[in-house]
Amino acid sequence: MEVPNFMKDDNITQECKNLISSLPLDKDFLGKNNLCNYKGFWYHYNTLQGILNVENHFRPRDTDIIVASFPKTGTTWLKALTFALVERGKYNANPENHPLLSQNPHILVPFLEVDLYLERQNPDLTNHGSPRKMFGTHVPFFMLQESVKDSPCKIVYVSRNLKDAIVSDWIFRNKYMKSAMHGASFEVFFQSFCRGVNFFGPFWDHVLSYWKASLENPKHVIFMKYEDLKKEPRVQIKRLAEFLDCPFTEEEEESGLVDEILKLCSLRNLSNLEANKTGSICNLEFKDFFRKGEVGDWKNHLTSDMAKKIDDVMEEKLRGSGLKFE
Ligand code: PAP
């Protein structure tokens, strides 16, 4: 498959071109694909166009839900869980008709900037969830602020320790970028994260943007961690349900619905479905979104020096924020 459209720079308006000419510029870890720094974060040019489209035209409805994340930190899982929580009850009579059994979570909860708004200012949003619409995004909170400033919509942010996210991203890119990755160096990729010059980076500013928003407005933004979901899934999914104003009833809990939803959205279940073994979105194959799903897989890929470097950077950047990753 070729490089996804959101990584290219061939579909931007003159206005966006003018903007880019005034921004700090750099290249990605391959030294090939362009990055520009808009309001403190690095984007490929087409993605910046999508972000501007979102900023200027996307206005969520009060009941909408946005699943936000830095790439490879649990997006697919959270999209599935959010969808399953909000839409539960609809498929009790025919559980075999549940949309998560026949459609990938990225179809049911589509990305704003790299999908719906990438090439258009006013996409058709009528088919995305009913009555509550659900969207995904990788942009930092600052970039959403304009869109959501008058809306009590819910923002679900999922984060993960950076070491696992880097490894997950590297392996994912080696799958979807295939020949474009020929000769790519993991060391250079790793360094780009440490410098913060990476797609949607710097990571620490991304997580901090949502962390602070969740502290300031806990009814509007929830901050979740991949590691917590792995460690105590029942506690975390109930926390999420309450935040989304659809807490589990006693009856639901007694009937085992919490575990049913967790099972439906589990890596094992989703990755074995035909709908997730075939098909693609934005030139990314669905099957590549599912891998090990473990905490601490970085130990198999990072040297102890690399691990220390990330730990030191994160310690410095998050100091005083109250946010910690294991
Ligand atoms: P995205 O940002 O490109 O959408 P995202 O879903 O955030 O990707 O990240 C993929 C990671 O989540 C993979 O982690 P790994 O490489 O360390 O294995 C993938 O395995 C994991 N993942 C995907 N679906 C699930 C799930 N249902 N439960 C737990 N982990 C999952």
Radius of gyration of the chain (CA): 19
pLDDT of residue 96: 92
Predicted pLDDT at 156: 98
Q: Which atom of ligand 1 is nearest to the CA of 265?
A: 27
The token duo for 122 is 């006013």
Q: Report the CATH architecture of 5-318.
A: 3-Layer(aba) Sandwich (3.40)
Distance in Å, CA 134 to ligand 1 centroid? 18
Q: pTM (2 decimals)?
A: 0.97
Using left for φ > 0, alpha for ψ between -120 and 50, and beta otherwise, residue 196 falls in left
Q: Where are the domains of the chain?
A: 5-318
| pLDDT score at 150 | 87
Helix (H) / strand (E) element for 20: namely: helix 14-21
Helix (H) or strand (E) holding 301: none
Contact 276, 76 (CB under 8 A): no
Q: Any idea which residues carry the catalytic annotation?
A: 138
* pLDDT reported for residue 91: 87
Q: What is the pLDDT of residue 94?
A: 86
Structure confidence at residue 44 (pLDDT): 98
Task: Give the position, in ligand 1's atom list, of the atom nearest the Cα of 75.
Answer: 7
> Which residue has the least CA distance to atom 5 on ligand 1?
72
> What is the C-alpha separation between 26 and 43, in angstroms, rounded?
10
pLDDT < 50 regions, the chain? none
Residue to mutate, 67, 79, 156, 168, ligand 1, most ligand atoms under 8 Å from C-beta:
168
Per-residue pLDDT tens for 271-326? 999 999 999 998 899 999 999 999 999 999 999 999 999 999 999 999 999 999 97
Q: Ligand 1 — pocket residues by CB below 6 A? A: 69, 71-77, 80, 164, 168, 171, 265-267, 270, 289-293, 297
Q: In this predicted structure, what is the pLDDT of residue 1?
A: 55
| Ligand 1 mean position, distance from CA 77 (Å) | 6
Is 119 in a helix, a strand, or coil? Answer: coil
The answer, yes or no, to whether the previous bond of 202 is cis (omega within 30 of 0) is: yes
C-alpha of residue 267 to centroid of ligand 1, in Å: 8
Residue nearest to atom 28 of ligand 1 (CA): 267
Residues 6+ apart with CB under 8 A from 256: none
Instruction: Find the distance separating the first CA and the last CA of the chain, reported in whole Å.
Output: 36
